[in-house]
Amino acid sequence: MAPGRRTLGETAELEREWWRVVVRDVLAEAGVSGELSGPAFEEFFASLYAHFTTADAWELFPDVLPALGRLRDSGAQLGLITNYDTRVFAVLDALELAPWLSAVVIPAHVGSAKPSPAIFLAALERMNSRPGDALFVGDELEDDYFGAQAVGIRPVLVDRGGTHRGVPGITRVESLAELSESA
């Protein structure tokens, strides 16, 4: 391993500690940190942290699985670039999404997060693809759309609420069904 690089296990522990601080700060700001201190906080935090690896913490939009099926049936290779932490692998397993994906790239793999070009380029490399042959679908304008566009990947913004309707120069869909119909 190169100097300064961490294993995924070391990164996972750092992520856990970062979230511990966030949860403590939120509880303090809410004025309830006194009720949850010492062992009570540790028990609460462990339960909360683990909860976000389960299917109960997440909800798939109804269009996700049908769109993945249509895209894969059309010959598309599917991957995921996310700024979520190392728990994403447990989440993907819990939601039964892992089998759909050829690659999953997270900041811990490359030392940078979206919109950095490094994370997009790492995903292209893992999927043995070139920027001009790839399509990136995401729901955040800056991190996803402009991040992908900056490295030459064709971006599509999933704009479920229509927030970016009428924004010139962007390709957007309001559901994944719109995307997969043309795939």
Per the structure, how many domains does the chain have? Answer: 2
- Please check whether residues 104 and 143 belong to one and the same domain: yes
Residues 113 and 35 in one domain: no
174 is written with which tokens?
A: 């309001």
pLDDT score recorded for residue 9: 82
> For 153-183, how does the pLDDT look when each residue is reduced to its tens digit (9 = 90+)?
999 999 999 999 989 999 999 999 998 554 4
Yes or no: say if 91 and 84 are a contact pair by the CB < 8 Å rule. Answer: yes
Q: 33, 51, 69 — which closes off a domain?
A: 51
Boundaries of domain holding 16: 8-51
One domain for residues 79 and 158? yes
Nearest Cα neighbor of 142 from 170, 122, 162 is: 170
- State the pTM of this model: 0.87
Domain for residue 65, yes or no? yes
| Mean of all residue pLDDT scores within the chain | 92
Q: Is 182 exposed, middle or buried (0-12, 13-18, 19+ CB in 10 A)?
A: exposed
In whole angstroms, what is the distance from residue 45 CA to residue 27 CA? 11
